[in-house]
Chain A
């Protein structure tokens, strides 16, 4: 067993031998090593999370034509640590009338729902937590725990603004889960499995982004909605309901929500990369070694995260009725039509050569996209005519 080609198993093997030589039973040694693996992995994710605070602040500054943190350390890299110290030494307030247990449990559940997702992320061909055969559904299941944490936080805070935020968030999540599931089923159809490893390996000649571009876009939109980021940040809408569900939280409890949100965005960038951008595959570079593969996946996840930030800081918040209409009248029908079309075309083109298959899939998407654009154009034209007709009549009345 070689360290370069299988680092995690190499270390695990070495540790097992060490523990057994110290006199531990085999099963005890392997359980301890798995526990160590989980703790080390989660710690690495949390360290990455600290770095994400800096990334987010720098990127938003660039989008808003500012410099961002630049005083503490080189490029302001030490800034997140200053933020953490500030969060830790803040007063920890639990409001009167709050439900103490639920109130304190909610931030933990919120971060947990994000960390749970990393259990199924294939970082490299040999580095992954577990190759679950229902991976796509697992993502939704972990997301539902996140929803629960928001409801718990809002209810336990005993605050009206918090409760309004939670109501909105649940409305968003319950509706955007549907296009999300439907678009996650498209890589499942293409790969023939719900497991993340098989989906990644199914993208060996060509990424699913080119076989199902519309699905990739819808997944990204649904992911942003699930994250509760602008334009879907109705749950915390500062200008209307102050901060939504985490209004009463102070110090590190708020920090957990904040860290969970950033890591969640990065995680969904990662899932976008895994489902549609080929995961750790990048022109055969991943064969150099698992560490290179991990770097490739994290770079792609960072790209997905950048797209999420790009949309967040470019598009403004929409109203809840617009958001629900957008989901139920636009995304959901498209997602279902796309799902049926993909399943049909996949069955029809399965026997053909891969070139015909790729071109056929891409053409299907282009034709569907063209039809969607045409329908939208017709709708907006009739809407515009309605408004313009009203405008001309009022103008004549005025004259």
Chain B
């Protein structure tokens, strides 16, 4: 077992353990903080795979924006910040079935996968992975359509947010 495999196993355990804590801890803010640990673990996985761009974007977007917005939303919407509501929703059995089916499907799919013993080929020196990713995102042969669709979706969300925040009766946001 190489050093990187041991490291991978440790990171994997941290991800799974913290993900478990997200759903079992009673305190909503603690759940969000455990979620950050999980997301950070995923960023470490990207870093192990030499995907430095994805690793950094994972931290910027998921920890810097989404997790912080979660915490923000919890802080703003809950009067008592240490409240402990019921942890199971009414349809927990449906969720359990869906997650079991997903796990079973993944397990079944990975049964027939034979890439476990393969080692990743190292990048040649001076390989510009970020540049390749950027070119792929705007190349018609690769991902320009999904990229543009995502941009339009985000723009629509932006316009929608402005529309909701804008109060037409006051006419001026300063009033």
| Residues A134 and B130 in contact, CB atoms below 8 Å apart | yes
Number of contacting residues on B, CB 8 A? 23
Contact of B71 among A134, A141, A155 (CB under 8 A): A155
Contacts of A116-154 to chain B: CB distance below 8 A: 132-134, 137-138, 140-141, 143-145, 147-148, 151-152
CB distance from A14 to the nearest CB of B (A): 25
Q: Which chain A residue has the least Cβ–Cβ distance from B64?
A: A144
Q: Is the CB of A194 within 8 A of B64?
A: no
Cβ-defined contact, A133 with B29, below 8 A: no
Contact B63 A144 (CB under 8 A): yes
Contact A141–B64 (Cβ < 8 Å) = yes
Which chain B residue has the least Cβ–Cβ distance from A137? B56
Residues of A within 8 A of B81 (CB): 155
Verify A138–B33 contact, CB threshold 8 A: no
When the two chains form their complex, are residues B75 and A141 in contact, meaning their CB atoms are under 8 A apart? no
> Do A148 and B75 have beta carbons less than 8 Å apart?
no
Provide the B128-161 mask, 1 if CB < 8 A to any CB of A, else 0: 1110000000000000000000000000000000
Is A182 an interface residue, CB under 8 A from the partner? no
Which A residues are CB-close (under 8 A) to B129? 133
For the complex formed, measure the closest distance between the CB of B119 and the CB atoms of chain A, giving whole angstroms: 17
B60 touches A141 (CB 8 A): yes
| Inter-subunit contact A133/B64 (CB<8 Å) | no
Number of chain A residues close to chain B: CB under 8 A: 24
Name the B residues within 8 Å of A138 (CB-CB): 56
* List of B residues within 8 angstroms of A152 by Cβ: 33
Please tell me if the beta carbons of B130 and A141 are within 8 angstroms of each other in the complex.
no
**Bound Cα distance from A84 to B53, whole angstroms:** 40
- Flag B1-39 by CB within 8 Å of A: 1 or 0 each: 001000000000000000000000000011001001000
Residues of A within 8 A of B68 (CB): 144, 147-148, 151, 170, 174
Q: What are the residues of chain A within 8 A of B52 when measuring CB–CB?
A: 132-134
Within 8 A of B (CB), among A151-174: 151-152, 155, 163, 167, 170, 174
B71 touches A151 (CB 8 A): yes
A311 within 8 Å of B (CB atoms) = no
The answer to whether B60 touches A137, judged by C-beta atoms less than 8 angstroms apart, is yes
Given A155-B81, A170-B68, A174-B68, does the pair A148, B36 have CB atoms closer than 8 Å? yes
Measured CA separation A155–B52 after assembly (Å) = 32
B103 proximal to A (CB < 8 A): no
Which of A102, A134, A143, A177 has the most CB atoms of chain B within a 10 A radius of its CB? A134
Please measure, in the bound complex, the distance between the C-alpha atom of A132 and the C-alpha atom of B51, giving whole angstroms.
11
Question: Closest Cβ of chain B: how far from A112's Cβ, in Å?
Answer: 12
Beta-carbon contacts under 8 Å, B90-148 to A: 128-130
Contact yes or no, A140 B60, CB < 8 A? yes
**Please, which residue of chain B has its CB at the minimum distance from the CB of A194?**
B130
Is B44's CB within 8 Å of the partner chain A? no
Give min CB distance, B13 to chain A, whole Å.
20
Query: Distance in Å from the Cβ of B124 to the closest Cβ of chain A?
Result: 14
Set of chain A residues within 8 Å of B45, measured between Cβ atoms: none
Are A155 and B29 in contact, with the CB atoms below 8 A? yes
CB distance from B175 to the nearest CB of A (A): 12
A68 to B3, CA, bound (A): 53
> What are the residues of chain A within 8 A of B65 when measuring CB–CB?
144, 174
Question: Which residues of B65-87 have CB atoms within 8 Å of chain A's CB atoms?
Answer: 65, 67-68, 71-72, 75, 81
Give chain B nearest CB distance to A137 CB in angstroms: 4
Q: Are B63 and A145 in contact (CB under 8 A)?
A: yes
Sampled A-B contacts (24; CB under 8 Å) = A27-B3, A99-B29, A133-B128, A133-B130, A134-B52, A134-B53, A134-B56, A137-B56, A137-B57, A141-B59, A141-B60, A141-B63, A144-B59, A145-B59, A148-B36, A148-B63, A148-B64, A148-B67, A148-B68, A155-B71, A155-B75, A163-B75, A167-B75, A177-B64
For the complex with contacts A102-B30, A141-B63, 4 further pairs of A-B residues with Cβ separation under 8 Å are A137-B57, A137-B60, A140-B60, A145-B63
User: Top 8 closest A-B pairs, CB basis?
Assistant: A144-B64, A141-B59, A137-B56, A134-B56, A141-B60, A141-B56, A134-B53, A140-B60
